[in-house]
Amino acid sequence: MQQSASHRGNSPDLDVAIIGAGFAGLYALHKMRNELGLLAEGFDDAAGVGGTWYWNRYPGCRTDTQASVYSYSFDREMIDTWQWSERYPPQPEVLAYLNAVADKHDLKRSIHFETRIEKLTWDEASSLWRLSTNRGESLSARFVIEAVGLLSSTNIPDFPGADRFGGALVHAARWPQDPIDFENKRIAVIGTGSTGIQLVSALAPKAGHLFVCQRTPQYVVPARNGPIPEKIRQWMSTSYDSFHKWVMDSATVFGVDESQTPAMSLVEDDRNLVYERAWDEGGGFAFMLGTFGDLTVSAEANKTATDFIRSKIMETVDDSQVARKLCPTDYYAKRPLCADGYYEAFNQPNVTLVDLNEDPLIEMTPTGLRTANCEIALDVIILATGFDAFTGNYLKIETVGRNGERLQDKWADGPRAFMGVATAGFPNLFTVFGPFSPFTSQPLVDEYQVDWIAGLIRHAMAQGLNEVEVERAAEDGWIETCETIAEQTLFAVTNSWINGANVPGKARRTMIYMGGMASYAGIIEEVARGGYLSFRLA
Ligand code: NA7
C-alpha cells in the first residue's frame, strides 16, 4: 500500500481501487493516480501487467484487430515512437507494449500483483467499499473500478475423464509460463473460434499430428498480415488527432472504412468483386464491415457473404469431404475471424479434422480422446473453448451492494448495467467495458470510458459527494434500448459468446450495445453534460 489506513486517519485506505492490470486497468491507474492526483492502487491476480495478454501465451496468439487502433491514444509520444512490427502483432509484442507503457508511467509500483480481490462489500455507514484479498488483507476505498476484462474468465467444459489424461491438458488462456515442446507431438485442439484457428495455423507446421476438434465451423477470412499500411502510418504520424477522430466517429472503432452500401444494391458479379477485393486485402472486420453495410442485419445480404466464403473454403481445401465439413451453415454474425493459412492447414497430411457433430467426443482417456467412432492417442490436448464473456470475472468476486444486495443475485438471469460503466444498487462502483458497452474494439473505448468515469469521480469529489449511483430506471431503459437494437441484428440469433449461448446454462442475452460508438458517445456525453443525469448523487 502507498499509505496505510493509520497514516490517513479516518480516510479510506484508497480513493480508488482498480481491479485488473490489462489495457483498461493500466489506463485507469494512470488517469486516477497521475492525472487526477488521487490515491489509487491496482490489483491483479497475475504476476505482471497485461491482463488477457499476460495469460494468453499460446502459439499463434496475436491481435486480430489492427495495431493502429489496438494501442492507447493518450500517450502521443508512444504513438510516434512505438514501432509495431505487423498489422496484427503477436502476443509477446503486445505484452511488451503494455509493459513499456506501465514502466514509462511508473505504474507498477502501485499495483499489487498475484493479489485477487475476492470480496467487495459496500459499507452503508461510511459510504466506502471494503475489499478483501486472497492474501487475507482488507482495505477500504471510496471508489472501485473493475477493469476485469470482457474475455478472461475461461470456459472449461466438463469433459468426462479430464483428470485421467496422462499428457499435457491446457486451456489456451491459462498457458503455462514454461513453453510446451510441440515438435513432432500428437496434439488435439478442441474449439475453432479465434483462439482455435490461430493455434491451428501456428501448430500445423510443427506438430507430429494435429487433430482439430470442431463442433461448429466458422467463417475464417485471411488476415494477410504484414506491416501497418503506409497510408495509415503516415496519417497517424502527421495528424493523429484526425486519425483518432475518424476511428472514434465510426460505429465499431476497428479502423475500418465501414460500408453503407446494401449488398443487394449490386449485381452478383459486382458484389463478388467487392468480396474478392476484401478477401485479397485480408482482415475479418474489414470483410464484415467494409464490404457492405447490411451483412449483419439482413439475412439475404448475409447469405451473399456466406456463399462467397464457402466457395473459398471449397476452393482452398483439397479434400471435398473435409472442405464441406469446414463450411459453416449459420449466419456470418459472430465476432469475425481472420487468420493466415487456416484452411490450407487441412491440406497437410499431419492435420486431421475431427467433426464432433458426426463423431461426438465421449471422454478423455489416460492416453488421449475417445470419440463415438475412434480412439485418438495424444501427447497434448489444448482447450480453445472460450470464455464466460462479459459477466464471468465480475461474478467471481463476491460483491455485496446497498441493502445487502448481491451482484450474483442481481445478475442471475443475465447482467443488468448502464452503458457498460455502472450497475444500480452498487454505488461508487464502475466497470470498464462492462455489460451493455458498445460493440467495438476495446483499447480506445476503454480509454474513453475511463475518461468518462474520471469525469464523474472528479465531479463527485469537487462537489463533496459521498455517493454516485446509477438509477434503476435508467439502467432498465438502457438495457431495453440495447435489446431492441440487438434484436434487429443477426447476432441475436447466432450462437456465440456475444449472447451467452457458448456457456451451458447461462442466460441468453445480447449483452452489448449495437447502436455504434458515435451514438453511444453522444448519449453518455449528454448524461455528463446534464450534471450526470441518470445518477443519484448524494
Ligand atoms: P470462442 O469464440 O467462444 O470459441 C470457442 C470454441 O470452443 C468454439 O468453437 C466452440 O464450439 C468450442 N467449444 C466450446 N465448448 C465446447 C465443447 N464442450 N465441446 C467442443 N467444443 C466446444 O472462444 P475463443 O477463445 O476462440 O475466442 C473468444 C474471443 O476472444 C474472440 O472472439 C476474440 O474476441 C478474443 P461452438 O461454436 O460453441 O460449437
Q: Assign 472 to helix, strand or coil.
A: helix
99 within ligand 1 shell (Cβ under 6 A): no
State how far the Cα of 186 lies from the Cα of 184, in Å rounded to an integer: 7
User: Residue 269 corresponds to which cell in the numbers above?
Assistant: 458479379
What pLDDT is attached to residue 10? 60
**Hey, whose CA ends up nearest to atom 17 of ligand 1?**
157
**Span 140-161, pLDDT tens digits:** 999 999 999 988 899 999 999 9
157 within ligand 1 shell (Cβ under 6 A): yes
**Hey, whose CA ends up nearest to atom 15 of ligand 1?**
385
Task: Tell me the backbone φ, ψ of residue 430, rounded to 5 degrees.
Answer: -120, 150
What pLDDT is attached to residue 3? 40
Probe residue for ligand 1, chosen from 154, 342, 362, 385 as the CB with the greatest number of ligand atoms within 8 Å: 385
How does DSSP assign 89-134, residue by residue? -BHHHHHHHHHHHHHHTT-GGGEETT--EEEEEEETTTTEEEEEET
Q: Helix %, strand %, coil % for the chain, to 5? A: 35, 20, 45
**Mean pLDDT of the 403-411 span:** 97
What pLDDT is attached to residue 7? 41
What pLDDT is attached to residue 179? 82
Q: Are 342 and 200 in contact (CB under 8 A)?
A: yes
State how far the Cα of 226 lies from the Cα of 446, in Å rounded to an integer: 26
Q: Assign 415 to helix, strand or coil.
A: coil
196 within ligand 1 shell (Cβ under 6 A): yes
pLDDT band at 4 (very low <50, low <70, confident <90, very high): very low
Q: Are 456 and 535 in contact (CB under 8 A)?
A: yes
What pLDDT is attached to residue 152? 85
Q: Are 99 and 53 in contact (CB under 8 A)?
A: no
What pLDDT is attached to residue 177? 83
**Span 427-480, pLDDT tens digits:** 999 999 999 999 999 999 999 999 999 999 999 999 999 999 999 999 999 999
Task: Tell me the backbone φ, ψ of residue 220, rounded to 5 degrees.
Answer: -115, 125
**Span 83-97, pLDDT tens digits:** 999 999 999 999 999
199 within ligand 1 shell (Cβ under 6 A): no
Tell which residue, 536, 263, 349, 267, has the closest CA to residue 426: 536
Could you tell me which residues are beta bridge partners of residue 252? none
State how far the Cα of 244 lies from the Cα of 260, in Å rounded to an integer: 20
- What is the chain's mean pLDDT, rounded? 96
**Span 106-116, pLDDT tens digits:** 999 999 999 99
Tell which residue, 433, 373, 452, 369, has the closest CA to residue 52: 433
**Mean pLDDT of the 3-32 span:** 83
Q: Is the per-residue pLDDT at 235 higher than 50?
A: yes
**Hey, whose CA ends up nearest to atom 6 of ligand 1?**
191
State how far the Cα of 398 lies from the Cα of 19, in Å rounded to an integer: 13
Assign residue 83 a region (left: φ > 0; alpha: ψ between -120 and 50; beta: otherwise).
beta
**Mean pLDDT of the 403-427 span:** 97
339 CB contacts (<8 Å, ≥6 apart)? 60, 64, 197, 198, 200, 201, 220, 222, 223
**Span 158-179, pLDDT tens digits:** 999 999 999 999 999 999 988 8
State how far the Cα of 453 lies from the Cα of 435, in Å rounded to an integer: 15
State how far the Cα of 452 lies from the Cα of 444, in Å rounded to an integer: 12
